[in-house]
């Protein structure tokens, strides 16, 4: 009995250690990944936006090529494609049609999403979407894998 008890304990410890590894993706130098991060809007066309929203405007990208988010009131959706060297193509498809009190940022956000965004840069927890060299939008990231 003692001979089978010790190997079972060792085996269970090994299995416990192997199964308890987190599925968090490692990021180089603390940089958040494009996919799996909620990107909260901080600036449009180089101008900081107010943080006074019932729900802060944000965008998320999934691994299947879909994007979705919130405009501050309405939710939106679309698709994206990643190319080499920071290239991106964003296609805004649509949004819900609720009427809210403060719609200025929402309208500007939709207009920005419809622009010819063709590059993205991630530095640490900040995402910048660009059309050529012009900054269209800037976001602050929250790792969705770290939020429980």
Q: What is the rounded CA–CA span in Å between residue 101 and residue 97?
A: 13
Average pLDDT, the chain: 82
- Dihedral of CA atoms 105, 111, 115, 117 in degrees, nearest 10, equals 30
SS3 content of the chain, % helix, strand, coil (to 5): 20, 40, 40
Please tell me the predicted confidence (pLDDT) of residue 7.
45
The percent of residues in the chain predicted with pLDDT above 70, rounded, is 76
pLDDT of 147 reads: 60
pLDDT at 103: 87
Is the pLDDT confidence value at 106 over 70? yes
Report pLDDT for 54. 65
Least confident range of 61-70, 101-110, 112-121: 101-110
pLDDT of residue 67: 98
Output the DSSP codes for 48-111: E-----SS--EEEE-TTSEEEEE-SSSEEEEEEEE-STTBEEEEEEEE-----S--HHHHHHHH
Predicted pLDDT at 55 = 80
DSSP bridge partners of 59: 39, 69
Q: What is the mean pLDDT of residues 59-82?
A: 97
34 class by beta-carbon count within 10 Å (0-12 exposed, 13-18 middle, 19+ buried): middle
23-143: in CATH 3.40.50.300: no
pLDDT by residue (tens digit) across 6-62?
444 444 433 333 333 333 343 455 799 999 999 999 999 989 987 766 688 999 999
């Amino acid at each position: 009995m003692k001979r089978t008890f010790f190997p079972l304990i060792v085996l269970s410890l090994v299995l416990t250690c192997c199964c308890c590894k987190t599925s968090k993706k490692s990021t180089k130098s603390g940089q958040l990944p494009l996919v799996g991060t909620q990107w909260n809007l901080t600036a449009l066309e180089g101008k900081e936006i107010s943080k006074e929203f019932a729900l802060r405007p944000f965008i998320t990208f999934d691994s299947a090529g879909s994007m979705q988010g919130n405009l501050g009131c309405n939710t939106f959706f679309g698709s994206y494609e990643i190319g080499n060297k920071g290239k991106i193509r964003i296609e805004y498809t649509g949004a819900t049609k609720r009427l809210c009190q403060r719609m200025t940022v929402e309208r500007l956000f939709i207009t920005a999403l419809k622009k010819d965004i063709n590059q993205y840069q991630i530095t640490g927890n900040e995402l910048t979407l660009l059309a050529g060299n012009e900054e269209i939008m800037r976001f602050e990231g929250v790792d969705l894998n770290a939020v429980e």
